[in-house]
Amino acid sequence: MTPTIALRGVTKRYGDVTAVDGLDLSIQPGEVVALLGPNGAGKSTTIDMLLGLTRPDGGAARLFELPPVEAIARGRVGAMLQSGGLLPDLSVAEIVELAAALQPKSRPVAQVLERAGLADLAKRRVGKLSGGQQQRVRFAMALVADPELIVLDEPTTGLDVEARRAFWAAMRDESGHGRTVLFATHYLDEADAYADRIVFMRAGRVVADGTAAQIKALVSGRTIRATLPGADLNALAALPGVDEVESRGDAVLLTCRDSDAALRALLTSTPARDIEVNARGLEDAFVALTMEGAAAQ
């Protein structure tokens, strides 16, 4: 099968900063992939190279086995960048019509405005929109070519809760039609809920690649939270199965390798109450993957 995205040994340097360091990444048709990583990990640089906006210093980026610029000229790719690209004097409908006119084929503008939640704002000048509304205009412009691949760099930054939900509902519909989606985000819940696959970058490299469940499994164990006023933290740390102890006001948070053993000990040897046991989530994996890098550097 022809990969939709193929990055082979892609490298980008800015002076002495290696923003992207020999990155290999292959994304198949229909996959919905989240690109995660701390600030400066190289996510936007990677996206810019695969959209042909920045030339790699080494390696090659291909979309549908074509040079990115060619795939884009054929209308096979829709992209939403973090900023820029809007003409403030045009109305919402005009700018989306313009984007449509630049494509070899396009969807009906009214349908795209509806999809992006802009139907009521069609006549408003772009320069008068709020940040979140402008973000929706970028989304509409990414969809108008009816692309096979959609690339989004932090698409929901600046959107309120309801707009984020509406955005992802629309995206889910779009990807349901077999489109491939790659998005960078800092919202772990979005990666968890919407991506089939998470690619975690740090310092220009891929350090983890898998389903949300696989990424979470990189941090094993569970956490136990309990109300325990005046707890003796050292005594808790010595309980069987407990790795780490933190105090949170009247509560304690135990990170456990063996939560069953820890729970038994907690119930028999302390007056702990309101006990909650949770599997560690994507946020813990994110922190662990980010910290590992900090330690190695």
Ligand X SMILES: Nc1ncnc2c1ncn2[C@@H]1O[C@H](COP(=O)(O)OP(=O)(O)OP(=O)(O)O)[C@@H](O)[C@H]1O
| Binding site residues, Mg ion, CB under 5 A | 43-44
76 binds, options Mg ion, ligand X, none, Cβ within 5 to 8 A by partner type: none
Question: What Rg, from alpha-carbon coordinates, does the chain have?
Answer: 23
> Tokens 């330690």, residue?
295
User: CB 137 → ligand X: shortest distance, Å?
Assistant: 21
- In the bound state with ligand X, the residue whose beta carbon lies nearer, of 99 and 184, is 184
Query: Tokens 């690619």 appear where?
Result: 199
Whole-angstrom Cα distance, residue 243 to residue 33? 33
Nearer to ligand X, 64 or 200 (CB): 200
Q: Tell me which of Mg ion, ligand X, none is bound by residue 39, counting a contact when its beta carbon lies within the kind-specific cut-off of 5 to 8 angstroms.
A: ligand X
Written as one letter, the residue type at 48 is D
β-pairing, 5-14 with 32-36? unpaired
Does position 45 interact with ligand X (CB under 6 A)? The reply is yes
Q: How far apart are CA 13 and CA 25, in angstroms?
A: 18
Q: Which does 45 bind (CB under 5 to 8 A by kind): Mg ion, ligand X, none?
A: ligand X
Per DSSP, helices labelled H in 74-160 are: 92-101, 109-115, 131-143
Is residue 43 part of the contact set for ligand X (CB under 6 A)?
yes
Residue 37 binds to ligand X (criterion: CB under 6 A): yes
Task: Write down the least CB distance from residue 15 to Mg ion, Å.
Answer: 18
Q: Of the candidates 190, 189, 273, which has an alpha carbon nearest to the alpha carbon of residue 227? A: 273
**Number of C-beta neighbours around residue 104 at 10 A:** 10
Q: Which two tokens stand for residue 265?
A: 């000990």
Q: Give the nearest distance from C-beta 39 to Mg ion in angstroms.
A: 8
Give the one entry of Mg ion, ligand X, none that residue 56 binds, where binding means its C-beta sits below a cut-off of 5 to 8 angstroms depending on kind.
none
Among positions 3-22, residues that touch ligand X (CB under 6 A) are 14, 17, 19
**Binding of ligand X by 116 (CB under 6 A):** no
By CB under 6 A, residue 44 contacts ligand X: yes
| Binding region for ligand X (CB under 6 A) out of 39-47, 91-99, 120-128, 225-233 | 39-47
Partner whose binding site includes residue 30, from ligand X, Mg ion, none (CB under 5 to 8 Å by kind)? none
Identify which range of 35-43, 156-164, 236-244, 263-271 contacts ligand X by CB under 6 A: 35-43
Task: Reduce the DSSP state of residue 113 to 3 states and report it.
Answer: helix
- Output 19 or 152, the one with its CB closest to ligand X: 19
Q: What share of the chain is helix, strand, coil (3-state, %, to 5)?
A: 35, 30, 35
How many residues are present in the chain? 297
Is 137 a residue that touches ligand X (CB under 6 A)? no
Q: Pick the stretch among 33-41, 161-169, 222-230, 278-286 that binds ligand X (CB under 6 A).
A: 33-41
Binding status of residue 217 toward ligand X by CB under 6 A: no
29, 30, 40, 75: which one binds ligand X (CB under 6 A): 40
Burial grade of 150 (CB within 10 A; 0-12, 13-18, 19 or more):
buried
| Residue 196 neighbours by CB distance under 10 Å | 14
Which residue number is nearest to Mg ion in terms of Cβ?
Answer: 44
* Residue 294, H or E segment: helix 282-296
| CA pair distance 136, 181, nearest whole angstrom | 17
Q: Which residues bind ligand X (CB under 6 A)?
A: 14, 17, 19, 37, 39-45
